[in-house]
Amino acid sequence: MSGLSHARQDGLMAAMDAIEVADGQCARGSPRWRRNRSIEVQRGFHDREFTILGWFALEYLILPESSSSKRRLVILISGRGSNMQALVRACRDEAWPAEVCAVIASRPDAAGLSWAHEQGIATGALYHKDFPNREAFDTALAEEIDRYQPDYVLLAGFMRVLTPGFVNHYAGRLVNIHPSLLPMFPGLHTHAQALATGVQLHGCTVHFVTPVLDHGPIIAQGCVPVHGGDTPDMLADRVLAVEHQAYPAAVRWLVEGRVHLTADQRVEVDGEPPRLFRGVDAA
Ligand code: GRF
Q: What is the pLDDT of residue 11?
A: 45
Query: From the CB of 156, is ligand 1 less than 6 Å away?
Result: yes
Active-site annotation holds for 260? no
Task: Give the number of the atom of ligand 1 that is nearest the alpha carbon of residue 177.
Answer: 4
Query: From the CB of 79, is ligand 1 less than 6 Å away?
Result: yes
pLDDT per residue of the chain (283 residues) written in tens, 0 to 9: 433 444 444 543 444 344 343 344 445 555 554 555 555 545 554 555 555 555 545 444 544 444 568 999 999 999 999 999 999 999 999 999 999 999 999 999 999 999 999 999 999 999 999 999 999 999 999 999 999 999 999 999 999 999 999 999 999 999 999 999 999 999 999 999 999 999 999 999 999 999 999 999 999 999 999 999 999 999 999 999 999 999 999 999 999 999 999 999 999 999 999 999 999 765 4
Q: Are 283 and 227 in contact (CB under 8 A)?
A: no
Query: From the CB of 124, is ligand 1 less than 6 Å away?
Result: no
Query: From the CB of 242, is ligand 1 less than 6 Å away?
Result: no
Query: From the CB of 83, is ligand 1 less than 6 Å away?
Result: yes
Q: How many residues does the chain have?
A: 283
Q: What is the pLDDT of residue 14?
A: 45
- Give me ligand 1 centre to Cα 159, in Å: 9
Furthest-apart CA atoms within the chain: distance in Å: 118
Q: What is the pLDDT of residue 280?
A: 72
Helix or strand holding residue 135 (H, E):
helix 134-146
Q: Are 100 and 122 in contact (CB under 8 A)?
A: no
Name the catalytic one among 178, 202, 207, 244: 178
Q: How far apart are the first and last CA of the chain?
A: 100
Of 185, 240, 277, the residue with max ligand 1 atoms within 8 A of its CB, to mutate for a pocket test, comes to: 240
**pTM (two decimals):** 0.78
Write the residue with the smallest CA distance to atom 6 of ligand 1: 157
Supply the angle between the helices 82-93 and 232-255 in degrees, to the nearest 10: 40
